[in-house]
Amino acid sequence: MAKLTQDEIVTLQTLDQKGQSKRATARQLNISEGTVRYHLRRQANGTSDGRKKQSLIEKQDLVKVVDHWWRSQADQLPAGRSPNIQRLWQMLVEEFEFIGSYKSVAKYVRNQFDRPKLRPFRRVETPPGAQTQSDWLSQKVAVNGQVVTVYGFVMTLSHSRMTAVIWSFSMNQLAWHQVHNEAFKRLGGVAAINRIDNLKTGVAHGAGAWGEINESYSSYARTMGFHVDPHQVRQPQQKGKVERRVLAGRNVWDLKQNFASLEHLQVHTDQRLDRDCKTRKCPVTGKTVFETWQSEKELLRPLPATLPEPFDLIRTCPVHKDCTIRFEGRTYSVPFRFVHSSVEVRGCNGFIQIVDRNNGAVVQQYPRNTLQKLFVDRACYEGESTGTVAAPVPLGRIARQLETIAAMEVQQRSIDIYALLAEVAR
């Protein structure tokens, strides 16, 4: 007996109600007369089609397993939340050698268990200067005649929709800080909050509100004066304004031509965005994005006089009694006023910066990853005493003479200098 679709069953029922013969209905639907009689009899008795197809879960005798797993998961979730079907499917495959697809499990679950309540999303419009949203994209671009993959960092002011796009060949920690610097410069300031994905350069562990912010990024945000707000996992609508710019942006940026360099690509993109913001309307104000941004810019936090150098490593290092710290297997001197306290050390591209943790000021800078293991700056031991730290004892006569000799070239050193040094030492 042929299995009919629901539309065909409704059709034969309608034709029967209009008085058409069963033979004529069978001929019209290209089925047997017995099939017509079967479905009409089922309708009259109020029963459904008994030839239900058995699912793979039933064939592999996993009904009780699925039922127990689903109900135990549902008991642990808040009311109205449904267990994750993807996790159920993975469990069946890994532990019970289930051969079916994810879709087969989803279909079975939806037929057996109550559907969760619909979850509407709250539309939120942030006030001026309150939030930026940030995201990465990858793009194939012709640079100097070769097609390469470049990464675009997109930052959008949530209120005005003003957008900055910064291109980079990398998405590592150094690049992450660098593109932030460039984006903030183009937006004219820093909003109170920056909403990001749960990428490792931003979130070290966990995700969303419970994620632990990457230590380097946390220090950068503290220096620039904004709060990091990762959105929940698999909830891209929570930063929908920047997601929208990523989707619509490729048409605006026009990246099909050949660019001489990454800098050429950046200039081209900046020019396209500048034209776009003067024609695109901001839905909140009804004015152009550019006009709305001009008003919002006054409420952004001003950029610091010197933007922080991008860094990929940060440590809090104690200052020893000889006014030195240890970082990456090397020893560096710091101003004596920090003795027996701690400083923040940032590993930048080719150098390190030693930063005052109280005000974020850079107090010393040294080369990074050198063969030299010890760096001592005499200026770190000079100056007046502070309220809590006494100035180091001045250099003695021998030490001063040694410094004089060290500063001279070997060819200029007279034997009399060494005799004078021996005389001082007596």
Q: Which of 178, 289, 184 is nearest to 244 (CA)?
A: 289
Structure tokens given for 349: 């591209």
pLDDT for 156 equals 98
pLDDT for 233 equals 84
pLDDT for 126 equals 93
Spell out the residues 6+ positions from residue 418 whose beta carbon is closer than 8 angstroms to its own.
405
Q: CA-CA distance, 316 to 341, in Å (whole number)?
A: 10
Question: Distances in Å between the alpha carbon of 383 and those of 231, 304, 390?
Answer: 48, 27, 10
Report the amino acid identity of residue 398: I
Judge contact between 105 and 87, C-beta under 8 A: no
Spell out the residues 6+ positions from residue 57 whose beta carbon is closer than 8 angstroms to its own.
63, 66, 92, 98, 100, 104, 105, 108
Q: Which of 364, 315, 308 is nearest to 337 (CA)?
A: 364
38-41 — which CB contacts under 8 Å span 24+ positions?
Answer: 38/1, 39/4, 39/9, 39/12, 39/13, 40/12, 40/13, 40/16
Structure tokens given for 245: 């710019």
| Termini Cα distance of the chain | 119
Q: Would you kindly state where each structural domain of the chain is located, as residue ranges? A: 6-45, 56-112, 133-297, 311-381
pTM greater than 0.85 (yes/no):
no
Fold match, 133-297 / 311-381: no
Q: CA-CA distance, 340 to 336, in Å (whole number)?
A: 9
- The topology (CATH level 3) of 311-381 is OB fold (Dihydrolipoamide Acetyltransferase, E2P) (2.40.50)
- CATH number for the region 133-297 comes to 3.30.420.10
Per residue of the chain (426 residues), what is the pLDDT tens digit? 557 787 888 888 888 888 889 889 888 888 888 888 888 888 887 665 555 567 888 888 898 999 999 888 888 887 767 888 888 999 999 999 898 889 989 888 888 887 777 778 788 899 999 999 999 999 999 999 999 999 999 999 999 999 999 999 999 999 999 999 999 999 999 999 999 999 999 999 998 889 999 999 999 999 999 999 999 887 888 999 999 999 988 778 888 899 999 999 999 999 999 999 999 999 999 999 999 999 999 999 999 988 999 999 999 999 999 999 999 999 999 999 999 999 999 999 999 999 999 888 899 999 999 999 999 999 999 999 999 999 998 876 666 666 665 566 655 555 555 555 555 555
